Structure 1
Amino acid sequence: MKVHFISPDGETTQTVEAKPGDNLLEIAQNAGQPLEGTCEGQMACSTCHVIIAKEWFEKLSPASEDEEDMLDLASGARRTSRLSCQIDLTEELDGLVVHIPAESRNMQGI
């Protein structure tokens, strides 16, 4: 299955291979995307915040209350924002489109 990452400027797209059960944060980090994931998936930060393309957002399992609380702290959060550490890929997510927020690039100094 494929996951498509779109850079903050919307110009660059990176397509990576994944398999069901893979965690989106790990896939992004392995692909060199600028997501920190400082808390290592414990939902104690929002450094793995991503914006899911609108057409894919409803296909995700709903965010937990804890995740929603962390997203309230994410700079640049939008209605389709999620923490990538909380998204495990399923067959239904083949072709998922993920936008990397500008704030992620800035955190990494890119």
Structure 2
Amino acid sequence: MAYHAIDSLERFAAEHGTNESLADLELSSIEVMTSSGPASWTDVLLEQLKEMDPGVKEVTDFSGLKPIGPRLTGDILILPIDGFGIGQPHSNSTNDGSIPEAALLKHKFRGSWRDA
């Protein structure tokens, strides 16, 4: 993950003409999320999962785990959406204010880094 994020930041620095120092780089929220946030995390995990299981082709191979439960691929445990992401209207997670039995925590998706 670290190398992926560094590569992304170096690419953004080149695109923004800030090759001397990443400290001078000013990224949009979308650029932060794609270089080191959830989209980047998903890309890195998907590549690792493909190496462990040649049958894995897309992120959607792990969609809909809710009725089945967690899935272990190599040494990576993929949780159903309610295991980590309740309250997300875009993901078919439980979003009615209740806390399902499968919930391990609630990610509040505050984006606190935006105010830093």
- Normalised to the residue count of structure 1, the TM-score between the two structures is 0.26
The higher relative CO (CA closer than 8 Å, separation ≥ 6) is in 1
Higher helix share: 2
Higher strand share: 1
